[in-house]
């Protein structure tokens, strides 16, 4: 499905869940007994101080790391033992890892390469013209949906940093994920790009689940329906942003003495 301004908000239901998820590195437990439910049509934030275990949780969910204990279910299937290369095909895609932007290709060609990969077309050297047309139409649709129409024929290398990240998101969406994992999608971006990417995420989440690690709390307050706070590998609090940000334990542990 295209990400379009008219995409209807769908009903939330659990699409990705973890129970008792734990990961040890030697004697050190980076993730301890984490339960997580990620819902369709919702933006879920995973926040917490540096070293809390957020990226490790992402690595466990995408099976990049094998959990020491616990289980993971994706769209009703137990994926605890599923190898990582199968996860993306099952609909769980992590941005800025699986997708890569090729600097010497145009925006259009970057998206086309991503689409070809999804459709398994890259292994075929002969293709009916009609399938290429369909690919081009889908590429243009994706480019337009993320607001890169003007840069369609520009080389990826010539895009600003923020636009490159937007292109990365477009190549991720080409894989048509059911669940999208974003690790600090706003990192290093200016205010204008943050606004653009926030709008894209909000739109994307109308027909998908999004789980994102984000340090920018005004972004979390603005676009996330649900927040899970990790501290030293454990869940400290969860709820919507208003609840979590008022929790004294969160204020002490995560925000220190600063006002949220």
Contact pick of 55, 73, 119, 216 for Mg ion (by CB under 5 A): 55
CB 39 within 8 Å of CB 12: yes
Within 8 A by CB and 6+ apart from 55, the residues are 183, 213
Q: Considering the complex, what minimum distance in angstroms separates the CB of residue 55 from Mg ion?
A: 3
Q: Say how far apart CA 1 and CA 174 lie, in whole Å.
A: 10
CB 211 within 8 Å of CB 181: yes
51, interface contact from Mg ion, ligand ATP, none, CB < 5-8 Å by kind? ligand ATP
Q: Say how far apart CA 53 and CA 51 lie, in whole Å.
A: 5
Contact pick of 56, 145, 196, 198 for ligand ATP (by CB under 6 A): 56
Task: Determine whether 81 is exposed, middle or buried from the number of CB atoms within 10 Å of its CB (0-12, 13-18, 19+).
Answer: exposed
Query: Closest by alpha carbon to 230, among 27, 58, 114, 9?
Result: 58
Q: Which two tokens stand for residue 225?
A: 């329906």
> Is 53 a residue that touches ligand ATP (CB under 6 A)?
yes
Contact region for ligand ATP (CB under 6 A) — 1-9, 52-60, 129-137, 202-210?
52-60
> Is 97 a residue that touches Mg ion (CB under 5 A)?
no
Q: How many residues bind Mg ion (CB under 5 A)?
A: 2
Contact pick of 32, 42, 54, 112 for ligand ATP (by CB under 6 A): 54
Q: Do the bridges between strand 92-94 and strand 179-183 make them parallel or antiparallel, or are there none, so unpaired?
A: parallel
> Is 48 a residue that touches ligand ATP (CB under 6 A)?
yes
Q: Say how far apart CA 66 and CA 58 lie, in whole Å.
A: 11
Cβ burial 196-214 (10 Å sphere, 16+ → b, else e)? bbbebbebbbbbbbbbbbb
Complex with Mg ion: residue 127 or 187, whichever CB lies closer = 187
> Is 73 a residue that touches Mg ion (CB under 5 A)?
no
Contact pick of 3, 18, 30, 253 for ligand ATP (by CB under 6 A): 30
Q: Considering the complex, what minimum distance in angstroms separates the CB of residue 96 from Mg ion?
A: 12
Contact region for Mg ion (CB under 5 A) — 46-54, 147-155, 198-206, 225-233?
46-54
Contact region for ligand ATP (CB under 6 A) — 32-40, 54-62, 117-125, 242-250?
54-62
> Residues interacting with ligand ATP, by CB under 6 A?
25, 30, 48, 50-56
> Residues interacting with Mg ion, by CB under 5 A?
54-55
């Amino acid at each position: 499905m295209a990400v379009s301004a008219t995409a209807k908000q769908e009903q939330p239901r659990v699409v990705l869940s973890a129970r008792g998820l734990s990961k040890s590195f030697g004697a050190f437990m980076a993730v301890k007994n984490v339960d997580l439910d990620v819902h369709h049509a919702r933006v879920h934030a995973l926040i917490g101080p540096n070293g809390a275990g957020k990226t490790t949780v992402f690595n466990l969910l995408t099976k990049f790391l094998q959990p020491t204990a616990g289980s993971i279910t994706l769209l009703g299937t137990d994926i605890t033992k599923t190898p990582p290369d199968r996860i993306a095909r099952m609909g769980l895609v992590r941005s800025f890892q699986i997708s890569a932007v090729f600097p010497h290709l145009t925006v259009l060609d970057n998206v086309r390469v991503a689409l070809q990969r999804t459709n398994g077309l890259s292994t075929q050297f002969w293709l009916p013209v009609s399938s290429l047309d369909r690919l081009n139409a889908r590429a243009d649709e994706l480019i337009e949906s993320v607001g890169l129409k003007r840069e369609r024929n520009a080389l990826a290398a010539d895009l600003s940093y923020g636009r490159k990240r937007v292109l990365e998101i477009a190549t991720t969406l080409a894989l048509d994920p059911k669940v999208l994992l974003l690790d600090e999608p706003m990192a290093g971006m200016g205010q204008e790009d943050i606004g653009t990417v926030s709008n894209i995420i909000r739109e994307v989440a109308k027909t998908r689940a999004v789980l994102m690690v984000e340090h920018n709390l005004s972004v979390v307050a603005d676009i996330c329906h649900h927040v899970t706070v990790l501290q030293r590998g454990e869940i400290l609090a969860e709820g919507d942003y208003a609840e979590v940000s008022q929790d004294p334990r969160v204020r002490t542990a995560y925000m220190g003495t600063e006002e949220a």
